[in-house]
């Protein structure tokens, strides 16, 4: 089997806190008659959100990261997977269209 590595892209993400206060994400809170307990996080149903993705709705647990992809789509990601895949970007970057540009690299070419 061939080996592949993830392309180095910069993404935007926010941690879902279970409040539903995320105007930048198309998200609706779960509305459940029964307050069942989530087997993933141990929280009650009403603290979970439905995130609209290209594939339909995905449930986000409190503490999940909501990622904005390169096509402006949103999707939830479990914290352990997020931390294994991404690291915080400490460089000054600017979004140009759908791409992020590392401003420190651009500044090298200023005259």
Domain ranges of the chain: 12-107
Q: What is the pLDDT of residues 51-62, one digit of tens each?
A: 989 999 999 999
Nearest alpha-carbon partner for 40 in 16, 69, 10: 16
Closest to 60 in 3D by CA, of 12, 11, 13, 16: 16
Long-range contacts of 47-56 (CB under 8 A, 24+ apart): 47/18, 48/18, 49/16, 49/18, 49/20, 49/22, 51/25, 51/26, 51/27, 51/75, 51/76, 52/26, 52/27
pTM of the prediction? 0.72
- Residues 22-35: tens digit of each pLDDT: 888 888 888 877 77
């Amino acid at each position: 089997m061939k080996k592949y590595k993830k392309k180095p892209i910069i993404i935007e993400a926010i941690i879902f806190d279970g409040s539903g206060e995320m105007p930048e994400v198309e998200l609706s809170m779960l509305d459940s008659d029964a307050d069942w307990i989530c087997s993933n996080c141990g929280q009650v149903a009403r603290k979970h959100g439905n995130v609209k993705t290209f594939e339909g709705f995905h449930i986000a647990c409190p503490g999940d990261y909501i990622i904005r992809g390169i096509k402006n789509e949103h999707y939830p990601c479990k914290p352990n997977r997020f931390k294994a895949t991404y690291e915080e970007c400490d460089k000054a970057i600017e979004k140009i269209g759908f791409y992020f540009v590392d401003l420190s690299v651009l500044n090298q070419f200023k005259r």
